[in-house]
Amino acid sequence: MKSLNFFIALLSLLSLATITKSQDPSYLSHACGNDTTYTINSTYRANLNLLLSSIVSNATRNNLNGFYNSSLGLDPDDVYGLFLCRGDVNNKACQNCVALAAKEAIKRCPLEKVVVLWYDLCLLRFSNRAFFSTMDQDPGTFLFNSDQNILDEPERFNRLVATTMNDTVTRATIATSGAKKFAVKEAYFTKSLNLYSLAQCTPDLSSSDCNRCLRIAFSILPSCCRQKPGASVLYPSCNIRYETFEFYNKTAVAAESPPPPPPVIRAPPPSPVTRPKGKGRVSIIVIVAIVIPIAVSIMFFYMGFRFLRRSASRNRVSLPEKDGKED
């Protein structure tokens, strides 16, 4: 088996917590493959620049599912690249992160051909070799929170992390092809502490490769991050993370994969329904959507009726009592 190349880093819980509140990407780690390099004025560099700008510009497209792979140039100067945004991140934040990563990549690995950059909101990766649809766990890295004080029951916490993460990994794996291979799960630990877990693969992987990648990441946890209140394992093809704070956008995740909605009656005028958040709002919208068209059609019917009656007997003056009876 390939030896795992780990770059160890520590993260403070507080700085991460504040950073992830807003959707600003925070840098996690990077890896520059130092065995293949290019020169500044080379065709490879020109191709790389073109590829990166195309990747960044494609990051806002709605139908990409937070993932895009692309390649450019002819052998021996061909370059391959992709980005993956965290499953809950919206298009704008995704593009922000990818643009930042593209800039940073050149700064951090100025002459290397094989590069991976991890941010909390996105991953950027490029190489002189085609790597799409293949599972890669090298280079890998892990991060953890060293703040231990918040855990009184480390053993119970470890067990909860294991079962919750196992379940999250399973759910990320079974995503249908083409969809995001992404899952999150929240679990109760104590009254004041919940566990939040996340797992994601690049969607170009097959389910079995995704499963393999995530299982390896999962299996690292006991050795790298035992009894840590938060940790991430990052690979080029997949990553997992758990924390005791809500580091992902629960609202966005819920909106992405809503439970099968109740059959909503289609109203004739396209109503500006965005995404109702609760059952109460659904029923109000449905009632409004039903009542207004009915009221409007009754009104039209009534007006039409009166118009017909008037034109039928032009000379007659309608009396107020008659109007009252009609009502």
Ligand X SMILES: *[C@@H]1O[C@H](CO)[C@@H](O)[C@H](O)[C@H]1NC(C)=O
Minimum distance, C-beta of residue 89 to ligand X, in the bound complex (Å): 8
Indicate the Cα dihedral angle 252, 258, 263, 268, nearest 10°: 20
Minimum distance, C-beta of residue 41 to ligand X, in the bound complex (Å): 4
Is residue 42 involved in binding ligand X (CB under 6 A)? Answer: no
Phi, psi of 210 (to 5 degrees): -60, -45
Cα 178 off chain centre by: 14
Residues 86-115 that bind ligand X (CB under 6 A): 90
| Contact window for ligand X (CB under 6 A) among 33-41, 140-148, 191-199, 223-231 | 33-41
Is residue 273 involved in binding ligand X (CB under 6 A)? Answer: no
Exactly one of 132, 158, 187, 190 binds ligand X (CB under 6 A); which one? 132
Is residue 69 involved in binding ligand X (CB under 6 A)? Answer: yes
Exactly one of 19, 193, 255, 273 binds ligand X (CB under 6 A); which one? 255
Is residue 41 involved in binding ligand X (CB under 6 A)? Answer: yes
Contact 180, 198 (CB under 8 A): no
Is residue 35 involved in binding ligand X (CB under 6 A)? Answer: yes
For residues 231 to 250, the per-residue mask of contacts with ligand X, x marking binding by CB under 6 A and - elsewhere, is ------------------x-
Minimum distance, C-beta of residue 148 to ligand X, in the bound complex (Å): 23
Is residue 6 involved in binding ligand X (CB under 6 A)? Answer: no
Minimum distance, C-beta of residue 292 to ligand X, in the bound complex (Å): 27
Strands (E) across 78-158 are located at 79-85, 112-119, 122-127, 140-145
Minimum distance, C-beta of residue 145 to ligand X, in the bound complex (Å): 20
Minimum distance, C-beta of residue 149 to ligand X, in the bound complex (Å): 27
Q: What DSSP designation does 313 have?
A: T
Phi, psi of 41 (to 5 degrees): -95, 20
| Contact window for ligand X (CB under 6 A) among 51-59, 179-187, 259-267, 318-326 | 51-59
Residue 178, sorted as left (phi over 0), alpha (psi -120 to 50) or beta, turns out to be left
Is residue 208 involved in binding ligand X (CB under 6 A)? Answer: no
Phi, psi of 79 (to 5 degrees): -135, 140
Closest CA to 288 of 271, 311, 304: 271
| Contact window for ligand X (CB under 6 A) among 100-108, 142-150, 158-166, 205-213 | 158-166
How many residues line the site for ligand X (CB under 6 A)?
Answer: 24
Closest CA to 253 of 121, 20, 18, 89: 89
Is residue 58 involved in binding ligand X (CB under 6 A)? Answer: yes
Closest CA to 23 of 67, 107, 116, 85: 85
Report how far residue 319's alpha carbon sits from residue 123's, in angstroms, rounded to the nearest whole number.
Answer: 77
Report how far residue 286's alpha carbon sits from residue 230's, in angstroms, rounded to the nearest whole number.
Answer: 43
Is residue 162 involved in binding ligand X (CB under 6 A)? Answer: yes
Contact 51, 126 (CB under 8 A): yes
Which residues lie near ligand X (CB under 6 A)?
23, 33-35, 40-41, 54, 57-58, 69-71, 90, 132-133, 162-163, 166, 170, 204, 249, 251-252, 255
